[in-house]
Amino acid sequence: MGYIDYLKTGFEILKLNRSAISSAAKDSEATKWSILTVVLTYLVVGLIVGLLFTTLMPLPGVTGSAIIIFYPIIGILGLFIGSGIWYLVAKLFKSEGEYMSLVRPLGLASMINVLSFIPFVSLLVSIWSLVVVVVTVSETQRLDTLKSVFVVLIPLVVLFLLGLVLGGLFIASML
């Protein structure tokens, strides 16, 4: 299979096709194509955001080239760290899947993030991405949907609460 076939698989994953998720999860060749998809997706987003920041909303010390370089790196780190967190939380629910079986389909599905720089559309992209992650966790880790929802939401709630605490500490330090 070539890259175009893997892009088609990514679209099927975005349509919540469990067969495509399972197929990508088991395909070791999908690893490199997942990483390439993340790099290309975040390169495009970085390019667009970089152009916006340098032309419409320039920030001191932030260059378009820095944004273009760092977005793909952040995308890859996000894929592997996010997958790792969801994998570990899934293990608490007695999952049976492998770590890379989660990384591969999520990487292929990351192409949806090309739309993430558009106001209001980014909210829909975020919500749909969470749905894709829930279904992918369910399929690749062999958990029922409710457990998969908890696997995805628990880290988000922890991050939210951590943000509240740190924000409160920051505000308290300013008083």
Q: pLDDT digits over 121-155, tens only?
A: 999 999 999 999 999 999 999 999 999 999 999 99
| Residue 170 structure tokens | 């920051």
**Contact (CB, 8 A) for 25 and 97:** yes
Classify residue 36 by burial, with Cβ atoms within 10 Å: 0-12, 13-18, 19+. Answer: middle
| Residue 34 structure tokens | 């997942």
Domain count, the chain: 1
Task: Tell me what pLDDT residue 164 has.
Answer: 94
Q: For residue 148, report the phi and psi dihedrals to the nearest 5 degrees.
A: -65, -35
Q: Is the pTM of this model over 0.85?
A: yes
Tokens 């929802």 appear where? 149
Measured in whole angstroms, how far is the alpha carbon of residue 12 from the centre of its chain? Answer: 16
Which residue ranges in the chain fall short of pLDDT 70? 57-59, 61-64
Q: What angle do CA 139, 77, 45 make, to 5 degrees?
A: 95
Q: Which domain holds residue 52?
A: 3-174
